[in-house]
Amino acid sequence: MRAAIDEAIRQAIPSVSAVVTLPDDKPGYKVVGVAEGNTAYRARHVSDGVLLFIAITTVSQMSGGKTVIALEEPDKGIHPRRIVDIIDQVNRIANQGTQFLITTHSPVLLNAFRDFPESVLIVDRGDRGTVAKRLSDMPNIEEQLRDVQLGDLWYSGVLGGVPTP
């Protein structure tokens, strides 16, 4: 299992040669880190994006691909260009049987799901409570997505899911 985790991480982040455990400052404890060549870095010195890749991959490998992983705003603290890498990793793992529930307020992350409208739920809270509607069930969605990014369309308020003043 450990080799599979390391391989999955290397596919996503080629500079990382392995996930390692290092002695903590507190005796008897260990912390997660990464090795880059001959140098090991403790988690506190590793980016949030790398730690997220490690967490997603580890949970998936430990469950044998038969689990649900919930990620609340995985884009938080991540460079926008790395969001696509995270979604690529999520898709790789999802193709092995793991299901993901992802929440976001990020138009950039939402753009990654443009070709998968059946995977997107827009959640609105109003006078009647909270309602979720599947993007693929919205009328004319394919036509609306022809000329605009999904995140931009959502941000404009056309799809709903935007707080009211």
C-alpha distances (whole Å) from 120 to each of 61, 73, 75 are 25, 14, 16
The whole-number pLDDT of residue 38 equals 92
Q: Would you say residue 60 lies in a domain?
A: yes
Residue 105 lies in a domain: yes
pLDDT in tens, 17-34: 999 999 988 999 999 999
| Consecutive H or E run containing 129 | strand 129-134
Q: Which residue has the higher pLDDT, 5 or 102?
A: 102
Q: Which two tokens stand for residue 113?
A: 């799901």
CATH number of the domain enclosing 51: 3.40.50.300
Domain count, the chain: 1
Confidence category of residue 13, pLDDT binned at 50, 70, 90: confident
Global pTM reads 0.75
Residue 135 belongs to some domain of the structure: no
Rounded-to-integer distance, Cα 63 and Cα 58, Å: 9
Encode pLDDT of 127-147 as tens digits: 888 999 999 999 999 898 988
Instruction: Quote the Cα angle for 10-16-20, to 5°.
Output: 105
Q: Give the C-alpha separation, 155 to 14, whole Å.
A: 34
pLDDT of residue 35: 95
Residue 21, beta-bridge partner list: 32
Position 128 in a domain: no
Q: Which residue has the tokens 């903590």?
A: 24
In a domain, 78, yes or no: yes
Domain contains 146: no
Structural domain of residue 26, as residue ranges? 2-112
Q: Would you say residue 133 lies in a domain?
A: no
Q: Report the share of the chain in percent with pLDDT over 90.
A: 42
Q: Are 84 and 47 in contact (CB under 8 A)?
A: no
Integer Cα distance of 44 and 51 in angstroms: 10
Question: Does a structural domain hold residue 18?
Answer: yes
- Banded model confidence at residue 92, pLDDT cuts 50, 70, 90: confident
